[in-house]
Structure 1
Amino acid sequence: MIETIAHPTAPSAPEGARPAGAPPFLRPGAQIDWHYRRPGWTAGDASTIAPMRVVRDDPRGLVAWLAPGTVQEAQGAPDGRRIRTVPLERRWTERRIRIREEWWGNGILRIAPTGTPWSVWLFWSGEPWTFSGWYVNLENAHLRAGEATYSSDHVLDVWIDAAGHAQLKDEDELEEALVQGRIAPEEAAHIRRHAEAAIASFAAGDWPFDPAWRDWRPDPSWTTPTLADLPD
């Protein structure tokens, strides 16, 4: 059984949000907005919002496509820079503002298994597509409301290359998040166990890592979703 992370790392979601995996579900091709919010988020705070196309949405989980060139909301420093450009020793104490930015990479497929504290992102490069690997984003199990899904990021991640070699990513960020009070020691211990569980899930060949996803391609008729104008 996968251990879950309790409050205060639970994602901030609209009142009445339901656990992912419960109906109603969105049809393939519909737009879904994928939110990451910090614990304790309130209206107007910075967050990450990616407008995406639904590939499948059912009790097993959510699969969605982030198209190249998608404009998304991101978290920035007060001077407008991307938050990841802020020196690590200040990254979790720096005030964050809402910025808009274009998804600069190739498209990615995101798979959020129901009730699981991570999502699996498939990356490709080049043309024709060459599979690069799986990025496992450790996060809260998703909550759903309307045409949106909500989670909170857990800083530490796992990268599994196309040959199946796994390694932890951003361990230095997790350590700084501890120092700066973004994450408590017991939460960090949970997160590390989730990383181990994600690697075990890959080794077991669970459905987010099914080889068939490597050959998936988006519907050519899909347009790039549009980021909604949000209230301040």
Structure 2
Amino acid sequence: MRFAPGRLIMHRNVRHGRIGWVRAGRVVSDDERGLLIFVPRYAPVAHEVTAAGRGMRTMPFAEWVTSSYRLAGGRWNGPPVLKFLPAGAAHSVWWFSDVEGRFASWYVNLEEPGVRWDDGDVAGVDMIDQDLDVVVRPDRTWEWKDEEEFAERLALPEHYWVTDEAAVRAEGWRVIARAEAGEFPFDGTWCDFTPPPEWVTPEKLPDGWDRPPVR
């Protein structure tokens, strides 16, 4: 399954069969290397919150897993971001820009490989975010991110969606080695990307964005 350039698709994170978050983005390219998506500032999004409206990061994980949940809509408040999902890989690489639109850093999101779906009017890719990440600076120095959250959640294996800590870290080290060597996609590719002017940011998520996960 390939998505046509310019198509609006849903990038969704799935936790134990529930949608954790959704971000609407447009397809930049989709080929044998993988899927490249652009998420503009203020793109429509949704994320899981408790009945009281609190997000997972606002409370201890032990409290989160005993809560009831709903999906809350919103807007992407971060800078414009490119997301590259390499074919079959257990990670994605994101390009973050600064407020002036200049490349700022790469972000390695460790995740179980995405599974695509296409319902005609709406389509997307579902993955499982493994929470531990790596930030790679333009000079290719790097650091782990969210290690404390990762450790906190691993301590509750009956509730956590990550089952193999060693595999997650091993994938991170593999990508770090490529980043340090300046190999694709850390070789400057897409660092100067600008979206076509005709790409309009939608006002809301399209009908069907919350269809049952396939991952």
Q: Normalized against structure 2, the TM-score is what?
A: 0.86
CA contact (8 A) 1:92 1:180 kept: no
Structure 2 vs 1, CA of residues 46 and 140 (structure 1 numbering), >3 Å: closer, same or farther? closer
Secondary structure of the structure 1 residue equivalent to 2:42: coil
Q: Which residue of 2 aligns with 1:116?
A: 89
Deviation string for 1:49-90 (max 9, x for gaps)? 111100001121000000111111111122112222223553
Q: Which residue of 1 aligns with 2:206?
A: 228
CA contact (8 A) 1:77 1:96 kept: yes
Do structure 1's residue 140 and structure 2's residue 116 form an aligned pair? no
Corresponding residue to 1:191 among 159, 168, 172: 168
- Identify the structure with bigger relative contact order (alpha carbons < 8 Å, sequence gap 6+): 1
Which runs of structure 2 are paired with 1:73-88 in the superposition (5 Å)? 73-88=46-61
Higher strand share: 2
Deviation string for 1:84-111 (max 9, x for gaps)? 2223553455443211121011110000
CA contact (8 A) 1:46 1:97 kept: no
Stretches of structure 1 that go unaligned for 5 or more consecutive residues are 1-23
Q: CA deviation at 1:124?
A: 0.7
Q: Normalized against structure 1, the TM-score is what?
A: 0.80
Stretches of structure 2 that go unaligned for 5 or more consecutive residues are none
Deviation string for 1:20-47 (max 9, x for gaps)? xxxx3122111111111013x1xxx442
Do structure 1's residue 163 and structure 2's residue 135 form an aligned pair? no
Do structure 1's residue 213 and structure 2's residue 190 form an aligned pair? yes
Do structure 1's residue 54 and structure 2's residue 27 form an aligned pair? yes
- Percent identity for Structure 1 against Structure 2: 31
Count, aligned residues? 204
| Rounded Cα–Cα distance in structure 2 between residues aligned with 1:217 and 1:75 | 30
Deviation string for 1:123-168 (max 9, x for gaps)? 01122x2321011000011111112111001011101112211111
CA contact (8 A) 2:61 2:153 kept: no
